Structure 1
């Protein structure tokens, strides 16, 4: 591209120089020639007037006297009636420019100038024009190179940006080049890079959330299946199989919720549900794990509470808090329920060392963990709580107390949404 731009610019400049340069040479040549003729004619008239003035006073007219009045490169012949011609200077060889002027006393003065002087002046003019044309070509080449670099370098840079996007590097470069069209392309590429980055972040977050949220139900399901494999009691097998089916339903609910949130994280399916059933389910799932660790998990507080939310999401939030206490806490884990205003609160606490001071304000951020864990459990739990209008907070650092706040007021139904559902 650079070469084509340089060649096209140079071609335009050469065409302009050819058209105007040739015209200028012709005009200058004619002008110099006409000027030389006028100069010789003026010299002849001037000498004729000198001869007239000397003849009127009957003074002598000699070659020496007239020679002092003429340049050395000219030749003149003065013809006075009744006298021999008077020659002034040396007669030039070759082609000459000649002019004759008559005098008032009947004399004639002929002045000649060698045409070579005109040729030399034309040559000097052509040389000047040629130098100017050469400078114009050099300037055009330099300008073309600068313009080519200004246009080609941004295109190369934009191509590299597009290649980076194609190779999976979505970082925007935010470079601008001072050319509106190229800046527009750069804006589009940067916007595309930001969209791709958001998409990749959402996909990575979905994968991390899925792996974390599916891990607990899968672990519980695995424990139930192990119980089935080691027992021969049909009643125990039936009980464990029923619990395993419940775990499968939870897994299905988790997958559906993950897919729904990946499309629109604001979409919720809050309903009024029995909070005791969710807590009872969690106790049944986690008691084997706590029993294996030599610890206990208990519940206390108000009973027969009904809360607003998605039962599966609430179960996942509680599972994240219980698992967090199992991994990072100590002693007995307690789930306490209480009512404050129009909200139902489920508190999860243990007898462990609590949350370090440096993590207190960042405990719900992703990738923040006190030990070698994923650091996304509490972040996912808070997102699940907020999706249905609830909230998850750390009420106390030592000993640790986490509170899940759920509304006890049934959600208002949107008439338009009900109409849309009826139409569907």
Structure 2
């Protein structure tokens, strides 16, 4: 592209120089020739007037007197009636410019000048025109190179940006070039980069959340299946299979919940449900894991509390808190329920060392973890709680107490707009 821009600009300049340069040469040549002819004729008229004044003044007219009046390289012949012709200077050879004038006393003056003087003047003019044309070409080439760089460099940058987007590097460059059309393309590429970055972040977040949230249900399910393989009692097999089917349903709900939150984290289908059912379900699922490490998990507090939310989401939040206590806490884990105002609260606490002081409220940030863990569980739990209109908070650091706050008032029913009700 740079070469084509330079070639096109240079071609335009050369065409302009050719058209106007040739015209200028023709005009200047004619002007110089006409000017030389006028000078010779004026010289002849001047000599004629000098001869007239000498004749009228009874002076002598000779070659020495005329030689002092004649310009170099010119040749003059004065013919006075009744006298011998007077020649002054050397007669030029070849092509000449001739001027003739007649005086008042009848004398004739002829002045000749070699045309080579005109040729030399025309040559000097052509050299000047050529130098100007050369300077114009050089200036045009420099300007073309500058314009080509101004246009080609941004296009190269934009091509590199597009290639980076295609290779999975969606960082916007925020670079502008002072050319409205190119800046518009750069704006579009930067906007696309930001959208792609958000999409990639959402995809990575979904993958991380899915791997974290599915690990616990799959572990619990595998434990139930192991119980089935180790027993021959039909009643035990039936009981474990029923629990496994329940866990499969929860696993499906987890997947659906993750997909829903990846599209819109505020699309929870809140309903009124019994907290005791969700808490007992979690106790039943986590007791084997706690027994395996010599610890216990219990529940206490107000019973038969009704809360508003999504049972599956609340179960995932509690599972995250219980797993967090299993990994980082110590002693007995207790789930306590209470009421504060119009909210039902589930507190999860243990007898461990608590949350380090340097973490504090950052415990809910992604990738923040007190030990070698993913740091995703509590962040996902808070997102799930907020998607149902609740909130998850750390009420105490030592010993650690996390509180899940859920509304006890059913959400108002959404009515169709007035116009829609009228149509119906």
Q: Name the TM-score, length of structure 2 as normaliser.
A: 0.97
Q: CA RMSD in A?
A: 1.5
Gaps of 5+ in 1: none
SS in 2 for 1:272: strand
Q: What is aligned with 1:250?
A: 250
CA distance in 2, matches of 1:187, 1:146: 24
Q: 1:107-122 to 2 correspondence within 5 Å?
A: 107-122=107-122
Q: What is aligned with 2:199?
A: 199
Q: 1:69-84 to 2 correspondence within 5 Å?
A: 69-84=69-84
The reply to whether residue 26 of structure 1 matches residue 45 of structure 2 is: no
CA distance in 2, matches of 1:415, 1:94: 112
CA distance in 2, matches of 1:412, 1:310: 16
Divergent runs of 4+, >3 A: none
SS in 2 for 1:363: helix
Q: CA deviation at 1:332?
A: 0.9
SS in 1 for 2:189: helix
Per-residue CA distance 1:275-295 (angstroms, 9 max, x = gap): 011001111111111111111
SS in 2 for 1:416: coil
Q: CA deviation at 1:361?
A: 2.3
SS in 1 for 2:312: helix
**What is the count of residue pairs matched by the alignment?**
420
CA distance in 2, matches of 1:414, 1:34: 99
CA distance in 2, matches of 1:199, 1:389: 25
Q: 1:79-118 to 2 correspondence within 5 Å?
A: 79-118=79-118
CA distance in 1, matches of 2:296, 2:306: 26
Q: CA deviation at 1:416?
A: 2.3
The reply to whether residue 380 of structure 1 matches residue 380 of structure 2 is: yes
CA distance in 2, matches of 1:331, 1:84: 148
Per-residue CA distance 1:148-168 (angstroms, 9 max, x = gap): 121112112211111111111
Q: Name the TM-score, length of structure 1 as normaliser.
A: 0.97
SS in 1 for 2:394: strand
Q: CA deviation at 1:304?
A: 0.8
Per-residue CA distance 1:57-91 (angstroms, 9 max, x = gap): 10111211111112111111111112111111111
Q: What is aligned with 2:313?
A: 313
CA distance in 2, matches of 1:261, 1:176: 36
Gaps of 5+ in 2: none
Per-residue CA distance 1:72-114 (angstroms, 9 max, x = gap): 1111111111211111111111111111111111211111111
Q: What is aligned with 2:390?
A: 390
Per-residue CA distance 1:189-214 (angstroms, 9 max, x = gap): 11111111111111111111111111
Q: CA deviation at 1:381?
A: 0.1
SS in 1 for 2:59: coil
SS in 2 for 1:223: helix
SS in 2 for 1:300: strand
SS in 2 for 1:113: strand
